[in-house]
């Protein structure tokens, strides 16, 4: 196994769409793949917004096991790009986390707000059991889900504080928006395009994150 440090985590943050594979109800047991927008939650888990009427939602109600594929590559050279396949189980987001997850998801996918008012859509998050990352020739291997990130997740309160800090100190001098921040980097958006900014090292305190947010993001924007 030869996987660059945190490469699967950063890939999940860079890409807006993944392929969900569920177990089909009819015909029974066959793989049922479908493409969906997603965002990572504070623990870097793929989080999807689903309708209860969708076929993949009905599949997950009967069997929560699923695969989720995320690929970063030009269409004509898909085997040359980075990709990660996660296997695990999808479950509804806990009630006490729903508001924070919704706020974060809408920063990544603002157009999804129209679905939340319909009452038919809800969030599911994947508890990752294992994942296989391929980053190029010789850079591939398996990881257990808990190896994706051993650090404590950033709290919603801290992320909101840092978001306000970004808006006050960085956004007013640029056209970038902050979609999310974590201990390893930040996700920016400009003209609808996503850009991952990677910190030089994981930030374990709020003070380190605040400094990285202002200094590292300003460097990237400039």
Is residue 14 within 8 Å of 196, Cβ to Cβ? yes
Do 106 and 183 fall within a single domain? no
Give the rounded distance of the alpha carbon of 50 from its chain centre.
15
- Asked if residue 2 is part of any domain, the answer here is no
> Residues 115-134: pLDDT tens digits?
988 888 999 999 999 999 99
Do 120 and 196 fall within a single domain? no
- Count structural domains, the chain: 2
Boundary-marking domain end, from 129, 147, 165: 147
Is residue 135 within 8 Å of 84, Cβ to Cβ? no
Boundary-marking domain end, from 102, 122, 147: 147
Average pLDDT, the chain: 90
The least confident of 10-24, 34-48, 163-177 is 163-177
Structure tokens at 80: 């040359």
Residue 1 has pLDDT above 60, yes or no: no
Do 82 and 49 fall within a single domain? yes
User: What average pLDDT does range 187-195 have in this prediction?
Assistant: 87
Boundary-marking domain end, from 147, 167, 197: 147
pLDDT at 173: 62
Kindly indicate the confidence band of residue 83, based on its pLDDT and cuts at 50, 70 and 90: very high
Residue corresponding to tokens 């980097």: 185
Q: What DSSP element (H or E) covers 8?
A: helix 7-14
Is residue 186 within 8 Å of 197, Cβ to Cβ? yes
pLDDT at 220: 66
Kindly indicate the confidence band of residue 8, based on its pLDDT and cuts at 50, 70 and 90: very high
C-alpha atoms less than 13 angstroms from C-alpha of 166 in its C-beta half-sphere = 25
| Angle at the Cα of 38 from the Cα atoms of 41 and 166, rounded to 5 degrees | 55
Cα-only R_g, the chain = 18
CA–CA separation, 39 and 13 (whole Å):
7
Domain around 210: 156-221
- Asked if residue 213 is part of any domain, the answer here is yes
Closest among 141, 113, 205 to 7, alpha carbons compared: 141
Do 40 and 141 fall within a single domain? yes
> Residues 42-82: pLDDT tens digits?
999 999 999 999 999 999 999 999 999 999 866 666 677 89
Do 133 and 171 fall within a single domain? no
pTM of the model: 0.91
Is residue 148 within 8 Å of 196, Cβ to Cβ? no
Structure tokens at 199: 């910190």
Structure tokens at 208: 């380190």
pLDDT at 165: 86
């Amino acid at each position: 196994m030869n996987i660059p440090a945190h490469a699967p985590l950063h890939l999940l943050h860079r890409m807006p769409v993944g392929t969900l594979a569920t177990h089909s109800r009819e015909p029974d047991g066959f793989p049922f793949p479908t493409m969906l927008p997603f965002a990572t939650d504070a623990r870097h888990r793929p989080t999807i917004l689903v309708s209860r009427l969708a076929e993949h939602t009905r599949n997950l109600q009967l069997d929560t096991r699923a695969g989720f594929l995320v690929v970063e590559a030009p269409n004509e050279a898909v085997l040359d790009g980075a990709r990660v396949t996660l296997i695990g189980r999808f479950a509804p987001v806990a009630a006490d986390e729903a508001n924070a997850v919704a706020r974060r998801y809408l920063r990544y996918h603002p157009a999804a707000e129209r679905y939340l008012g319909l009452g038919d859509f809800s969030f599911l998050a994947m508890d990752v059991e294992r994942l296989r990352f391929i980053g190029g020739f010789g850079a591939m291997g398996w990881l257990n889900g808990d190896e994706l990130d051993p650090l404590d997740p950033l709290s919603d309160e801290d992320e909101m504080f840092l978001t306000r800090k970004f808006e006050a100190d960085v956004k007013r001098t640029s056209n970038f928006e902050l979609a999310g921040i974590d201990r390893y980097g930040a996700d920016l958006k400009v003209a609808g395009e996503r850009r991952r900014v990677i910190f030089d090292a994981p930030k374990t305190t709020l003070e380190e994150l605040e400094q990285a947010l202002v200094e590292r993001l300003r460097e990237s924007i400039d």
